Amino acid sequence: MQKPYRIKTISEFHQLRGLPKPEHPLISVVDYGSIIHSSDFNLTSWTLDFYSISLKRNSAVKMKYGQQEYDFDDGILFFMAPGQVFRIEIGNDRKPEHSGWILLVHPDFIWNSTLAKNIRKYEYFDYSVNEALFLSEKEEIVLNDIVSNIRQEYHSNIDKFSQDIIISHITTLLNYAERFYHRQFITRKITNHKLLDRLEEILVEYFREGDLRQKGLPSVQYVADLLNVSPKYLSGLLNVLTGQSTQQHIHDKLIEQAKERLSTTDLPITAIAYELGFEHSQSFSKLFKSKTKLTPVEFRRSFN
């Protein structure tokens, strides 16, 4: 497999994309329509040493990230953290009609700031391409205004206030994106509820097959892979829709199995714990009580 091409600086990104030298080496707002696409980009995967926040519309460009492809035909926002691998493919059947912008931020620009400490809390930097943020017209206007302020600030004479002001704008943009993702989880009901139904099917099937002693509990990664979403996107969605993380959903399904065995069999607690994949019955009892407020023994007694 070909090693991804690493773009180390924003200046190098500008050069590769046929853009003028950036006015600031550590931050740049690029007009997506000014990017020159080359067929050479179809042959290579890429990784950036800086953050990229992209609003793209009406593009004949496909981006491949992991095993997912996304065709940017609508106004969507997509986030990439340093080190993530992606591939850009240019459609041969039509000429790209680019619009939108790309905000590039090198980690050194936010170094030693509150944002540097907090930026990883914005989990959408770890979402896949197919989990991008679909923006309403009003939401897009809000973000366009913020990016316009960022561009205006670093185009102006740089002074001792400039960096703090720009970092404040970036933080505001990220907070708005967090709000808009929350809205997307709620409003895309059909898609999201299909995902919830499929999650239930996966967990039911996994526990039905048994052999938890060998397999253990399903991991969040295992469930997310079967649902074709990233683990953080799945947990974010579930938290908004159900108030629980993916791990909590897995544990709930496990407790259902435990209740069934405790109420319908005479198996010792240690045997049930072992069947459900626990090496130590104490760990099983602790989880069971945290979920039900009863110990396994107390729960079993309630049926006698």
Nearest alpha carbon to residue 11 among 77, 125, 91, 108: 108
* Same structural domain, 221 and 73: no
pLDDT in tens, the chain (304 residues): 567 889 999 999 999 888 999 999 999 999 988 887 665 555 568 899 999 999 987 655 554 444 344 444 457 898 999 998 877 665 555 555 668 999 999 999 999 999 999 998 999 998 887 788 988 889 999 999 999 999 999 988 778 899 999 999 999 999 999 999 999 888 877 677 788 999 999 999 998 887 788 888 899 999 999 999 999 999 999 999 899 999 999 999 999 999 999 999 989 999 999 889 888 889 999 999 999 999 999 999 887 6
Domain region containing 111: 5-188
Distances (CA, A) of 257 to 260, 263, 271: 5, 10, 13
CA 247, 249, 250, 255 dihedral sign is positive
How far apart are alpha carbons 7 and 17 in whole angstroms?
A: 11
Look at residues 188, 219, 249 and tell me which one is the last residue of a structural domain. Answer: 188
Is the same domain home to 112 and 225? no
Count of domains observed in the chain? 2
157 and 219, same domain (yes or no): no
